[in-house]
Structures are given as C-alpha cells and as structure tokens.
Amino acid sequence: AVAATWPRSAALAHVSAALVLGLPLLSQHGTQVHGIRPGLSFRKTRYFTLHGGCAAARTIVHDGLRVLEPAYVILGIASDVGLVDAVAAGDAALNRGLVTFTRLREVAEECRNHAGAATFRAAIRLMDERCESPGETRTRLLLRRLGFDARSQEVVRDASGLVGRVDFMLTEHRVIIEFDGLVKYGGIDGQRALAAEKLREDRLRRLGYAVVRLTWRELDHPEAVRQLIEAAIHQVAA
C-alpha cells in the first residue's frame, strides 16, 4: 500500500524487498518501508524511507510489486542489518535460483564504494547455495566461528542404499550435525516423521557416525555447542 503511493521509478528495497521476495531475515528490522529511487535524493517520512541508491541498480516485478534486483537487496541488507542476515538472505536467494554468485560479485564491484560494500563482499565469501534454511545458515556460520571444518548437505549411504542427506558433516571425525527447527511431531503424519527420523539416526550410528542435534536455543550458546561437538568427537574416537 505504501509503495503504491511512490513514483513509478521507485521500487521496494532492502529489508522490505527481502520480505516480498521471501528471503529470510534473522534480526529485528523495524516497521519502516524501504524503497529506492535510483539517481534521486534521499527522502524519509514517518512510514517509509526512499533511498537515492546506485544509478546502475536494476529492478524486477515480483507478485505485482516492483522490487530491487535480489543482488542489490542483499547488498542493502548487508548495509542496514549486518553480515549474518546478508548471508542468510544470500543462501536462500542462491538456493532458489534468484541470484548467482557471478551476479553478486558483479554488484559488489559496481557498488564498491557503497557504505555496506565490505560487509557485502564478506557475506558473499560465506554464502552456500546448498543451504536450505536460515537455521542452517546460522549453524554453518557458528561452526566456522568455532573452528570446525564442516561440509554441508553430505549424502550418506550404507549397504541397503541411501540413508539420507545430512545438514553438516565433520568428515575427519565422523560427526554429523543437524539443525532441528523443532518441527511439530503431532498427529499421525508427525509420528511417522519422528519414527523415520529415529530409524535414519540409528542407521547413521551403525555406520560409526555420532549425531549432534542443534536447535535455535543452542545456537545462542556457542561454548555449549563446542562442548556437544567435542563430546561427539571423543565418542567416535573411543
């Protein structure tokens, strides 16, 4: 509704465009609607902010709304919100085919003097197109911060065939790390899913893997995560 009052040259941008595109935002982002008018002056009211932006910025139409091109949206998130949110949005955009690494790097070069350019470049280096959820993004970044070399979306097989694809694997230590978003296991379908998950973990453990499950709560306590993983490493080595 707010964007409908803007000039035709304006488009939704930054966190507002991310919401329209369905890209995840992990941090609080306020209630201001953000837009861009390339080459024109900055304007802010009680309800919205229109940024001047980069004259080279492209726009697309998504669900009937004009929004900034995803690569520029992620640049805006890097500038306004920070590194982790930019990586989460980038992971999702890459995974869904909304953007490519080539285009991200092109925009980083085009906007190298942008206030968020350094954060954006750092975010690109940390992105992973195989990532399937913002919880996995946060888990991967935490594992990296803790010094663990984790491979994402590894496929595991046994003599009977495919066991499954796991979120992360510490290959050297035979430790599997799964992010658990605490999906509800209520009802018949939920009970079946829970039973299938248990059978999958049993097969993984019979292959000699230790499995560590992390939830949003654990991700807020890095040292507790380190202890869980180190305990799993010792368990496999024993």
pLDDT digits (tens, 9 = 90+) for 199-218: 888 899 999 999 999 999 99
What is d(CA 237, CA 194) in angstroms, rounded to the nearest whole number?
28
Tell me the pTM: 0.89
Q: Which of 194, 214, 202 is nearest to 163 (CA)?
A: 202
pLDDT digits (tens, 9 = 90+) for 21-54: 999 999 877 788 999 887 666 788 888 988 876 6
Lowest-pLDDT choice from 1-10, 105-114, 160-169, 206-215: 1-10
Angle separating helix axes 134-145 and 83-95, nearest 10 degrees: 130
Six token digits for residue 158: 């046994």
Q: Describe the strand order of the beta sheet including 175-179 as a list of residue ranges.
A: 151-158, 161-170, 175-179, 210-214
